[in-house]
Amino acid sequence: MNFSVLQPYMPLFWSGLLTTVEVTGAALVLAFALGAVIALLKVLPIRWLRALLDFYTSIFRGIPLIVLLFIAYFATPQLTGYKITMFAASVLTLGLNGSATVSETLRGGIQGVDQGQYDAARALGLPYRSMMMKIILPEALRSVAPALVNEVITVLKSSSLVATIGLADMMRAAESVQALTYRAFEPFIFVAVIYYIIVMILVHFSKKLEKKLREAY
């Protein structure tokens, strides 16, 4: 082992880290925003809408993420004539895939809220939107917050797949260094350690969040 061979390529790893953070951040914004909307729609008493959204969720549950990524990047130009960028394809794939999980997590949280909260809101004459936004959704978020942090970790780790379409993330940086130095152990272990550190920070945050939520209850 000789990690000193990585020293000249630190700017490459740093650039890859920034790309990973950008892709993960943009994908999470899409996943949480769209997932929240889908969750709110799923709890409406509209059978056909629920069936349609369940089908949407089943697509991302049943198809491997790497296949979806390849469809987004390689098949989209063939079908539409539009050349999607690697960054856009990565964010869309990770974001849409994440929205399916987020929607199910939030839906479970919403349906897990005590019925008395709904009855109290109706007794006060609150309209449906105000009831959901001011009472039900905050209550649901408290119960599913740790699961949502886990989804952040999942999206972060899944972002390593974007290297397969050529986006210059951390994994792509490691592959490039391997090709230049003919050494595989050092660059991939280095990237693994970076991922591990980030994930452990998120795990620590998740534990602190769980503790605060338990104290709040």
Q: How far is CA 99 from CA 38, 132, 134, 142, 205, in A?
A: 8, 19, 22, 19, 22
Task: Of 106, 141, 134, 107, give the one whose Cα is nearest residue 213.
Answer: 141
Interval 124-148: pLDDT, tens: 788 877 888 878 888 888 888 888 9
Q: Over the Cα atoms of the chain, what is R_g?
A: 21
Find the distance separating the first CA and the last CA of the chain, reported in whole Å: 50
Q: How far is CA 45 from the centre of its chain?
A: 28
Interval 143-165: pLDDT, tens: 888 889 999 999 999 999 999 99
Interval 18-29: pLDDT, tens: 999 999 999 999
Place 112 in a pLDDT band, splitting at 50, 70 and 90.
confident
DSSP 43: T
Q: What are phi and psi of 71, to 5 degrees?
A: -60, -45
- Rounded to the nearest 10 degrees, the angle between the axes of helix 10-42 and helix 185-216 is 40
Q: Which of 1-10, 18-27, 86-95, 110-119 has the lowest mean pLDDT?
A: 110-119
Give the residue-averaged pLDDT of 80-89: 92
Predicted TM-score (pTM) of the model is 0.90
Q: Where are the alpha helices (DSSP H) in 43-184?
A: 47-62, 65-70, 76-80, 86-111, 115-123, 128-131, 137-158, 170-181
CATH class of 10-216: mainly alpha
What average pLDDT does the structure give for the chain?
Answer: 90
C-alpha neighbours within 13 Å on the C-beta side of residue 88: 9
Quick one: pLDDT at residue 121?
A: 79
Quick one: pLDDT at residue 91?
A: 97
